[in-house]
Structure 1
Amino acid sequence: MYTSPLPSDSCTIFTKDEVNRIRSQHSDQMAMTLLPALLLLSIIMFVGFIGNILVFYVYFTKFTPSSARSAILAMACYDLVTCLFSIPGEIVDMRFSYSFTSEVMCRGLRMVTTIILVASGLLLVLVAVDRFQRICRPLNDHYTSKDIWKRIFLLSLLAAVIAIPSPIMYGLSYTAIDITNSDKLYKNQTLYGLECSTSEAFKNHPLQRAYSILLLAVFLVAFTIMIILYILIGKQVLRHHSFVKAVRQGSGHVLDKPHSSHQDNNEPSFVEVKESSVLHEMDQDKESPTHKESIAKKTDEKKSQSRKQSVMHRIRKVSQAGDSRTRKTTMMLFCITIVFVISFLPHIILKATQAFNKHFDQNLNTTGIVMYNIFVRSYFFNTAVNFFVYGFCSPKFRAECKALVFSFAFLIKKRRASIKSDDIQ
């Protein structure tokens, strides 16, 4: 069924059945050529689906609410939508390269994919801002779990608004089929197949170029913001390590001058505020007059000093543990950001190449066609990789996944034993 008139140079000697037959034949041939790409996307879809189900379940049930947990749950939801809708749609697109006939599916696929990609990028910017505040601005108000969910909802709406043109500009498009060698009966004739691409009305249209530039600009701005924030975070972490190293190499006493990102603003660090308040209270206790003997007074002073050191030690220990967890979480989320950026780069490079050379993808050999179809969809790679990043960076997540797998295996084993017992009876 034709959705719009064929290009003017299309041959009209074909019957409808012949058109469908030739389109199906060439779709089958292209599917065999793209079999490695189809298998790879299928693996990414399967691994991403299982992995993100585990991520969502473990972080939802085993971790306490926090800004990082909220961001990870949202990213898992985005990835699950990708595995359930976007990747299957792309597989169908490659399977029916010349006979894609569903206009609704094509437009819906492009819109969902655009929303997820833009929302994921904006979410990672939000994560970078949250990490920056926690590492570099420890005394400021930080995002709570509820704050993060509110902003995730808003950035998802923004992504949906940005994606509005996608179902308008994308749709069924005609692509020429070379039938000179495949069907001698129609030698030197031209036939057009149907593919899911830029719709005929917007091919080479200024609005289509403007929209592509907008999407590229969103990615580049988000990438720049994330790079700047993580550079600042990295500098602060290095300063912290230098400070700790200086303390350990010194006399073992607390340095009088706090080494913090707030030095320039004359703001004390979190640890310094805690310590100074405790010291002040103890000093007040110590300064209260007593009528005891001098020996007893010295004994009290020693006890007070010992108590002070004990409290200070506990404060530092708790603070250091909290700082360590924050840095580890920041490193994990930074790795997630790097994976997202790296997985997006091949797609950006190929699209930029096509912008300068419109016939770039039409002059490729078989290997080139396969590689092109893989890397033009490279933004799906992070969907399967994120699970392994969480497992590598978070010991608790890794332990909970192992426990879950062992519990599941035990239930299966118990179920099989029960079935065998029923058979014996």
Structure 2
Amino acid sequence: MDEKQQKITVYVMQSIFSVIGTIGNSLVLYIYLRKKDKSTSSIFILALAGADFFTCLVIVPFNIVTLYLDYKHGYDLMCRLYMFLITGGVPFATLIMVAIAFDRYFCICHPFLHVITIFRAKLIILILLSFAGILGIMVALMYGINDIISDPSSQSNNSCYSNTSSSYQQVTCNSTINNANMSSNLSDDLINHSYGMCSPNYDIFNEDFVLLFSKIHAVLYLLMFIFVVVLYSLIYREIHVRRARKAKRKRSSLYPSQSCAPEASLGDTHMTLMPGPMSDGNADEPTKNGHSSKRRKIGATLKEKQFYANIRTAAMLFIVTIVFLVAFLPALLMTQELIPYNIVIFYTYFVYNTANPVIYSFMNQSFRIELKNMYSKMCNGSRKH
């Protein structure tokens, strides 16, 4: 596949991502915004859907235009706006992934600590959005319209690409004549061919600072990936331990009378039973009242249902995280020049912004029910008219 065909493939691919992602994420926003009993996971899903919706509606089309123009925006404002959107959106989504992992960890491993409440979840999202915005502003100030030197003998076959998932964007012109990478620091023996190129400049920050910022940004991504892996590993361990304890008690004669034991045996949690008559220690007292024993069983059942509901939510969000890592990792490795650059593979990271509604549809039963209800209302409304 030659360079022109690769670009056409990217245009088509990103157009599909934009249309499907905009529709899918708008449905997610519609359904989750209408929920009355919002949880912390719902808040984070809303934030993620909002970021994905904005990416598919604005950033992806902007990226298509930028690729078509070969990063020749012509104006500093457009160049810096593009860099701000690209390098602010991806970190925000990654930070939300980490926040979701922390939320699921505390919800499953320490459910009674109430570390992340709905108010705190909203506050966390605002902090993460501000941090991602600062990263985007920093990168935008590192870019501008520059004159790029190129070999005129290969002008018709020149193209430029940019690794935009990192904070340091390496704009490179590929020449089919000498098959070499040429940037703005080419040797003086080449003949100048100048045009407005959105690329790194050092008017505000010097080159050493830009390179240092690039390394810090890459390390930041690495740390976030490690946090996510560690947290989900701890969640898996907690689920495995609880199931083992439940199976052990089920095999023993104590299990029927101590249905709350797996929950209460966790060192960091305390079981709060539903209110009932106080017992004086007499073993027959619960049966005299006739309700205390039943309430204990109902309380234990509700706790168990909530625990497994949290597991299902964690499993769904874990799949969301895995898709993000798989989609984003090739672009990150190409940015750090650890694997060869391929424009088609590089820009597949936008598939992540499209995939989340599909994941919710397959793994969230209530989401599917809401979709069916919405579709039924639409059909009934069209029949009336």
Distance 1:206 1:261 in 2: 55
- Name the CA shift for 1:64/1:376 in 2 (closer, same or farther; >3 Å): same
Percent identity between matched residues is 23
- Name the CA shift for 1:307/1:64 in 2 (closer, same or farther; >3 Å): closer
Matches within 5 A, 1:165-184: 165-173=138-146, 174=148, 176=150, 179=153
Distance 1:230 1:302 in 2: 41
Alpha-carbon contact 2:29-2:50 (below 8 Å) kept: yes
Distance 1:407 1:95 in 2: 42
- Name the CA shift for 1:39/1:102 in 2 (closer, same or farther; >3 Å): farther
Q: CA deviation at 1:204?
A: 9.7
Distance 1:250 1:102 in 2: 74
Unmatched tracts of structure 2, length 5 or more: 158-176, 178-189
- Give the aligned residue type for 1:331: A
For 1:329, which of 310, 313, 329 is the aligned residue? 313
Which residue of structure 1 aligns with residue 273 of structure 2? 274
Alpha-carbon contact 1:137-1:262 (below 8 Å) kept: no
Matches within 5 A, 1:87-236: 87-97=60-70, 99-173=72-146, 174=148, 176=150, 179=153, 191-199=193-201, 205-236=207-238
Matches within 5 A, 1:6-155: 33-62=6-35, 64-97=37-70, 99-155=72-128
Distance 1:62 1:302 in 2: 39
- Name the CA shift for 1:305/1:240 in 2 (closer, same or farther; >3 Å): farther
Q: CA deviation at 1:225?
A: 1.3
Report the number of matched residues.
351
Structure 1 or 2: larger helix share? 1
- Give the aligned residue type for 1:176: S
Alpha-carbon contact 1:63-1:69 (below 8 Å) kept: no
Give CA deviations for 1:188-207 in whole Å, capped at 9, x if unaligned: 97634544333476999222
Q: CA deviation at 1:107?
A: 1.1
**Please, what TM-score do these two structures have when normalized by structure 2?**
0.80
Q: State the secondary structure of the residue aligned to 1:156.
A: helix
Give CA deviations for 1:72-107 in whole Å, capped at 9, x if unaligned: 111111112211221111101111227442432221
- Name the CA shift for 1:269/1:189 in 2 (closer, same or farther; >3 Å): same
Distance 1:329 1:217 in 2: 29
- Give the aligned residue type for 2:87: T
Distance 2:332 2:200 in 1: 17
Question: Which shifted more, 395-404 or 309-318?
Answer: 309-318
Alpha-carbon contact 1:171-1:198 (below 8 Å) kept: yes
For 2:256, which of 247, 250, 253 is the aligned residue? 253
Alpha-carbon contact 1:48-1:383 (below 8 Å) kept: yes
Which residue of structure 2 aligns with residue 238 of structure 1? 240
- Give the aligned residue type for 1:243: R
- Name the CA shift for 1:90/1:235 in 2 (closer, same or farther; >3 Å): same
- Structure with max Cα Rg: 1
- Give the aligned residue type for 2:256: H
Give CA deviations for 1:135-161 in whole Å, capped at 9, x if unaligned: 111221232222111111112111222
- Name the CA shift for 1:145/1:179 in 2 (closer, same or farther; >3 Å): same
Question: Which shifted more, 90-99 or 320-329?
Answer: 90-99
- Give the aligned residue type for 2:48: M
Which residue of structure 2 aligns with residue 283 of structure 1? 279
Alpha-carbon contact 1:98-1:175 (below 8 Å) kept: no
- Name the CA shift for 1:203/1:33 in 2 (closer, same or farther; >3 Å): farther
Which residue of structure 1 aligns with residue 167 of structure 2? none
- Give the aligned residue type for 1:34: K
Which residue of structure 2 aligns with residue 312 of structure 1? 296
Matches within 5 A, 1:375-386: 375-386=345-356
Distance 2:3 2:382 in 1: 42
Distance 2:287 2:262 in 1: 30
- Give the aligned residue type for 2:111: P
- Give the aligned residue type for 1:284: D
- Name the CA shift for 1:177/1:150 in 2 (closer, same or farther; >3 Å): same
**Please, what TM-score do these two structures have when normalized by structure 1?**
0.73
